[in-house]
Amino acid sequence: MRSIVVRVGSGAFFASLLLLALLLAFPDRREPLVAAYELVLGALAIGAILGALRALEPGKWEAPSVFERSAEKPPRPEPIAELERMDRVLVLAASSAFDVHHRLRPLLRDLTSERLYAHHGVELDREPERARALVGDELWEVVRPGRELELRSGPGLPLADTARLVLALERL
């Protein structure tokens, strides 16, 4: 509290000295200089009041500075569970044929079946020849009805190949 009084007192003293110097330099500008002096004293009084309030409750009135706020990282959004699941499926499918057959293939079959029926009126399981002509050989090899898992520990499907399959799906 004492530091607040010292700061306000020294501020008022220097403002008074400045007013005196300006009045001596510009005697004909007395009214605007006194008005400016009153504004400075009012600002010092407001500063003293705010300082006293801050002294009463130290943590309550302090806001982080602009630099502190800019250094804070924005909160990271919650991951979307379905996207995380799809990411896991793609990673696993890239590692083994088993995961391609049992994890990626059902997803691709569902999407292919829905798109074929919605855009072309073709059912994947009932009209395999028409479906094959529409989806293309590469996607057909993965989604065709009756596809069996040849080698359980075989190589997976590289992500580049999966990307081509997704593009083929999007073209449907």
Place of tokens 């083994």: 96
139: its two tokens: 């996607």
Distance CA 127, CA 129 (A): 6
The rounded Cα 168 to chain-centroid distance in angstroms is 31
pLDDT surpasses 80 at 35 = yes
Q: How far is CA 84 from CA 76, 89, 90, 106, 166, in A?
A: 15, 9, 10, 17, 17
Q: What tens digit of pLDDT does each residue of 118-137 get?
A: 999 999 999 999 999 999 99
What was the pLDDT predicted at 161? 92
pLDDT surpasses 80 at 141 = yes
136: its two tokens: 């293309």
Q: What tens digit of pLDDT does each residue of 40-84 get?
A: 999 999 988 888 877 777 666 667 777 777 777 777 888 889 989
Q: How far is CA 38 from CA 12, 24, 27, 42, 143, in A?
A: 10, 18, 17, 6, 84
